[in-house]
Amino acid sequence: MGIDDQKTSERVNPWAPVQYVSNTQTPRLPRNIEPADGGNILLTSVNKLIDWGRSNSLWPATFGLACCAIEMMSASASRWDISRFGAEVFRASPRQADLMIVAGRLSVKMAPVLRHIYDQMPDPKWVIAMGACASCGGVFNNYAIIQGVDKVVPVDVYVPGCPPTPEMLLHGLNLLQEKIRQRIPTPPDPLKVTGVTYIGSED
Amino acid sequence: MQLEEPRALQVDESEQLDESTRRDTMTINMGPQHPSTHGVLRLVLTLDGETILKAQPDIGYLHTGIEKTAEGKSYFKSLVVTDRMDYLAPLCNNLGYSLAVEKLLGIDVPEKARFARVALAELQRIASHLVWLGSSALDLGAQSVFLYCFRERELILDIFEACSGVRMMTSYIMPGGLQADLPPNFEQLVRGFIKIFPKRLREYHDLLTNNRLWIDRTRGICLLPAEKAIALGCSGPTLRGSGVAYDVRKVFPYSGYERFAFDVPVGANGDVYDRYLVRMLEMRESLKIIQQAMDGMPEGRWQVDDPKIVAPHKYEVSSNMEALIHHFKLYTEGYRPPAGEVYVRTESPKGELGFYMVSDGSAKPYRMHVRAPSFANLQALPLMIEGYLISDVVAAIGSIDIVLGEVDR
Amino acid sequence: MADEQRMGAPELATPSNPLAAATVAFLRERFPDDVLDASEYRGEMTITVRPERIAEVCRALRDEPRLAYNYIADITAVDWLERDPRYDVVYHLLSLATYGVVRLKAQVGDEDTPDPELPTVTTVWPGADWFEREIYDLFGLRFAGHPNQTRILMPEDWVGHPLRKDYPLTGIHLPEPHWGGQVLLDESLPAGMGRQTLRTNDRTGVPRSDNLTPDASEDTPPDTHANDHAR
């Protein structure tokens, strides 16, 4: 179908992504799903309201490890204002945060600490793996770097890049907000699947 | 203004001997996840109340095996991992690495590349100092300084993005010159930046330098005497704040720095306030250097004219057989410097950044060791904070300006 | 342009060359049996000394008033796997008074001593502390008299020295499907295996290719990651 055959109004946006959520995630629930508590109109609206509130006030825990942390700081600065999305309150204490942006490469010595901080966050919590090193080990495929933080914590959104520009991080944040609103569940906990416990992080 | 007494509390020897008056000390852990440790640094602090008795840094939480990774890649490919060590000043790392490899190869880059390298390195120095200023001011409570610094930093990152397409890890300075020619709007962007930055720098001075709160938090805090700094191997603003005028750009000039006129600010007391002032004045000197570099930038090649080191241009590769073969050999195998070893030192924003490269005649570096300035500067931290309060630890860490990426490599 | 570019990097010529010759002369006079070699490459002087005397040599270089090498810029090591002695320990010295630079080398290690030892220079420059700890951590060379000889970059219970040439880049892994050292705490490690801090104390949880079944409870979603491990 040639490009001249379509009228301008019918033309599909060529830049729209083919799919929003990767196939390695849990199966996507269809939109407008009936909630598990049986379709009570009042509860549905309340749930929608709660999801809207949660997605628009994500409080990140500061977990900047390396270079991506600087781009995360740029995302919270004035040009790419993360505060537009309600997420400018970077909590130093994980007990007060509900989003963990793992920004940077995770080394072997740091992995138990990451899990410890994740365990200290109260439910509901989400994780964004920011950068190539957090997503899959990135440039470094060696003895010192864990090849992807999803071996340690369950990750909801992966933001590729080395480092991702602040716009990409904000796009990832927007995807997470949509994911929260659509009630797509978090992937299973990798430590439960593999049965590993980290020395020093047992609660 | 009267200079107040340093706040180091003297530990009274006589009080400790009697069992009934034994002080209970507390050992606490600071980090590795902490908003003020500027990365993943862990400090084990032994406290008496709020006073630090002993501090023990624990590093290695960002160890990436960069030196071993570089042993497995060709010289051109290892350039990419050097960006990620001092991630606040990637171009300065690239420059140090490129100078070391060029020394191994025994080549010189053209004049335009030298001037451009100086201009880019000084822009990178300003960008790194802006992050330092923003984050250490944020740690001590001055939140708006953080936002202003990042606003200026975005302008510098725009320049880097125009040059190389990447904001941070550009790898734009490579052995042999630059990766690509400077963009046509480079001069306009840089001159525009030079025009507005002095006024912004005055804004930061207005906010902090004579601010009573800032002075109380930083004057007389965490002193580092000059002899101790030298003995511990400190460099950069950490050493210059204590009064030692050692700047690699002046003592061992590289990339044409001997042709530029600039001063090296040196502190007097070695406290946090002096190190702060040294870096603020360094930003002003960097502006001078950039101005001179832009005024004197010649026309010409931006890369060495040797197809055995730098790949020929793409249109030559598609039309000329030798160019094609050179391109192929360079990207599959790479150039082979003669066997030998070099140590090249450069002045990164943190201090003396040294690259010790050993070649065994093959296409991959046999050993790349990076002498990271923050690694040596961090050794001074336990000495600096002994006897001060725990809130001064935050000021001290900010004043040394450590980057854990290069401490741990 | 080509001739200008092949000039041999004049801009990097260090101004230390007269002092480098003086340093060699001083050492040859003071320690006649211990200076094994002195050579210059690309304007940098390298002096090879006997490893047992390295501390005295460094102290003499620091205390000599004409030379005054009071700054230790860098200490590192190089592993020449095929060579005997195996390791080069390289010291880069700088004098802040005269701006002289010199490189000292001490060669240690052979087939009989897999973990060679040499004296520490922390008594000469306290800043050598962490550099020597890093060499111990990554190469396994010990420094006699070091105040705190522990691992600095790798976890404390790491086995192996990563920067040695016979240590693989990707580390020593347990065979698939393990992805990091999931060895039970009370089991002994297989021979030649590295150990990480990721240990488990859960006997049922150590994944093998036959015990990976998705969790069948209804509130956990179906495990799409199960197949990833049974590769």
Which chain A residues are within 8 Å of C196, Cβ to Cβ? 108
In a mutagenesis test of the C interface, which of B105, B118, B246, B342 is the best target, namely the one with the most C β-carbons within 10 Å?
A: B342
Interhelix angle A67-76/B111-139, rounded to 10 degrees, is 70
Residue A18, pLDDT > 90, answer no
Residue C198, pLDDT > 70, answer no
Cβ of residue B151 closer than 8 Å to a chain A Cβ: yes
Contact call for residues C60 and C30 (beta carbons, < 8 A): yes
Which chain B residues are within 8 Å of A64, Cβ to Cβ? 39
Residue C121, pLDDT > 90, answer yes
- pLDDT band at A8, cuts 50/70/90? very low
CA distance A62 to C123: 40
Cβ of residue A89 closer than 8 Å to a chain B Cβ: no
Tell me the C-alpha to C-alpha distance, in Å, between residue C46 and each of C69, C93, C95: 15, 11, 15
Give me the pLDDT at residue A195, please. 63
**Residue B275 CA neighbour count, 13 Å, CB half:** 36
Q: With left for phi above 0 and alpha for psi between -120 and 50, is residue B16 left, alpha or beta?
A: alpha
Radius of gyration over every alpha carbon of chain B, rounded to an integer in angstroms: 23
Higher pLDDT, C91 or B38: C91
pLDDT tens, residue by residue, C28-85: 888 888 888 888 888 899 999 999 999 999 999 999 888 889 999 999 999 998 888 8
Element (H, E) at B357: strand B351-359
CA distance C120 to A51: 61
Beta-carbon contacts of residue C4 (< 8 Å; ≥ 6 apart): B108, B110
CA distance B169 to B160: 10
Q: Where are the beta strands (DSSP E) in C80-124?
A: 87-94, 101-108, 117-119
Give me the pLDDT at residue A12, please. 57
Residue C217, pLDDT > 80, answer no
> Interface partners of B (3+ CB pairs, < 8 Å)?
A, C
Cβ of residue C14 closer than 8 Å to a chain B Cβ: yes
DSSP state of C200: B
pLDDT tens, residue by residue, A31-88: 444 445 555 566 678 888 888 999 999 999 878 899 999 999 999 988 998 999 988 8
* 8 Å CB contact of B345 and C169: no
* 8 Å CB contact of A26 and C162: no
> Interface partners of C (3+ CB pairs, < 8 Å)?
A, B
Nearest CA in chain C to A143: C171
Comparing CB atoms, the residue among A192, A193, A197 nearest residue C201 is: A197
Beta-carbon contacts of residue A101 (< 8 Å; ≥ 6 apart): A60, A61, A63, A64, A72, A127, A128, A130, A169
Comparing CB atoms, the residue among A110, A143, A165 nearest residue B32 is: A110
CA distance A90 to B34: 12
User: Which residues of chain A from 180 to 199 reach within 8 Å of chain B, CB to CB?
Assistant: none
Backbone angles phi, psi at B205, to 5 degrees: -60, -40
User: Which residues of chain B from 53 to 92 reach within 8 Å of chain A, CB to CB?
Assistant: 60-66, 68-69, 80-81, 84, 87-88
DSSP state of B389: B
Comparing CB atoms, the residue among B59, B65, B114 nearest residue C152 is: B59
Structure tokens at B289: 């250097």
Which chain A residues are within 8 Å of B40, Cβ to Cβ? 65, 110, 113
Contact call for residues B274 and B229 (beta carbons, < 8 A): no
Nearest CA in chain B to A147: B64
Compute the nearest-CA separation of A34 from chain B (Å).
Answer: 40
Nearest CA in chain C to B99: C12
Q: What does B37-86 look like in DSSP terms, one character per residue?
A: SSSS-EEEEEEETTEEEEEEEE--TT---HHHHHHTS-HHHHHHHHTTTS
CA distance A69 to A169: 11
* Alpha helices (H) in chain C, listed in sequence order: 2-5, 17-30, 54-63, 128-139, 226-229
If you average pLDDT over every residue of chain A, what do you get?
78
pLDDT tens, residue by residue, A102-159: 999 998 888 888 888 898 999 889 999 999 999 988 888 888 888 888 888 889 899 9
Comparing CB atoms, the residue among A142, A195, A197 nearest residue C171 is: A142
Which chain B residues are within 8 Å of C126, Cβ to Cβ? 231-232, 379
- pLDDT band at A185, cuts 50/70/90? confident
- pLDDT band at A194, cuts 50/70/90? low
Nearest CA in chain A to C220: A188
Compute the nearest-CA separation of B200 from chain A (Å).
Answer: 15
Question: ∠ at Cα A180 (A179, A181), nearest 5°?
Answer: 90
Burial class (CB in 10 A: 0-12, 13-18, 19+), B218: buried
Report yes or no for ipTM above 0.90: no
Per-residue pLDDT tens listing for chain B (409 residues): 444 444 444 455 544 454 445 568 888 888 787 876 678 899 999 988 888 988 999 999 999 989 999 998 899 999 999 989 999 999 999 999 999 999 999 999 999 999 999 999 999 999 999 999 999 999 888 889 999 999 999 999 999 999 999 999 999 999 999 998 999 999 999 999 999 999 999 999 999 999 999 999 999 888 999 999 999 999 999 999 999 999 999 999 999 899 999 999 999 988 999 999 999 999 999 999 999 999 999 998 889 988 888 888 888 888 889 999 999 999 998 899 999 999 999 999 999 999 999 999 899 999 999 999 999 999 999 999 998 998 899 899 999 988 999 999 8
* 8 Å CB contact of A77 and B154: yes
Q: With left for phi above 0 and alpha for psi between -120 and 50, is residue B242 left, alpha or beta?
A: alpha
DSSP state of B20: G
Nearest CA in chain B to A103: B39
Give me the pLDDT at residue A102, please. 93
What amino acid is encoded at B25 in this protein? T
* 8 Å CB contact of C153 and B60: yes
Contact call for residues B3 and B219 (beta carbons, < 8 A): yes
Residue C197, pLDDT > 60, answer no
Compute the nearest-CA separation of A40 from chain C (Å).
Answer: 20
Element (H, E) at B239: helix B237-240
Comparing CB atoms, the residue among B60, B131, B151 nearest residue A70 is: B131
Q: With left for phi above 0 and alpha for psi between -120 and 50, is residue C100 left, alpha or beta?
A: beta
Give me the pLDDT at residue C201, please. 43
Contact call for residues C174 and C183 (beta carbons, < 8 A): yes
Structure tokens at B22: 């034994």
In this structure, the strands spanning B26-30 and A157-159 are unpaired
Contact call for residues B256 and B394 (beta carbons, < 8 A): no
> Interface partners of A (3+ CB pairs, < 8 Å)?
B, C
Nearest CA in chain C to B67: C163
Per-position b or e across A98-118, b if 16+ CB within 10 A of its CB = bbbbbbbbbbbbbbbbbbbbb
Compute the nearest-CA separation of B81 from chain A (Å).
Answer: 8
**Cis ω before A124 (30° cut-off from 0):** yes
Task: Supply the pTM of this predicted model.
Answer: 0.84
Give me the pLDDT at residue A200, please. 52
Comparing CB atoms, the residue among A62, A66, A73 nearest residue B405 is: A66
Comparing CB atoms, the residue among C197, C206, C221 nearest residue A195 is: C206
Give me the pLDDT at residue A165, please. 93
Compute the nearest-CA separation of A17 from chain B (Å).
Answer: 23
Give me the pLDDT at residue A146, please. 83
- Give strand pairing partners of B351: B348
Collapsing DSSP to helix, strand or coil, C119 comes out as strand
CA distance C199 to C186: 10
Nearest CA in chain B to A67: B87
**Three-class DSSP labels, chain A:** CCCCCCCHHHCCCCCCCCCCCCCCCCCCCCCCCCCCCCCCHHHHHHHHHHHHHHHCCCCEECCECCHHHHHHHHHHCCCCCHHHHCCCCCECCHHHCCEEEEECCCECCCHHHHHHHHHHCCCCCEEEEECHHHHHCCCCCCCCECCCHHHCCCCCEEECCCCCCHHHHHHHHHHHHHHHHCCCCCCCCHHHHHCCCCCCCCC
Contact call for residues B290 and B197 (beta carbons, < 8 A): no
Distance of CA C53 to the CA centre of its chain: 20
pLDDT tens, residue by residue, C154-196: 887 777 888 998 887 877 654 433 334 344 445 555 554 444 4
Compute the nearest-CA separation of B32 from chain A (Å).
Answer: 8
CA distance C120 to C145: 6
pLDDT tens, residue by residue, C68-77: 899 999 999 9
Contact call for residues C16 and C71 (beta carbons, < 8 A): no
What amino acid is encoded at B29 in this protein? N
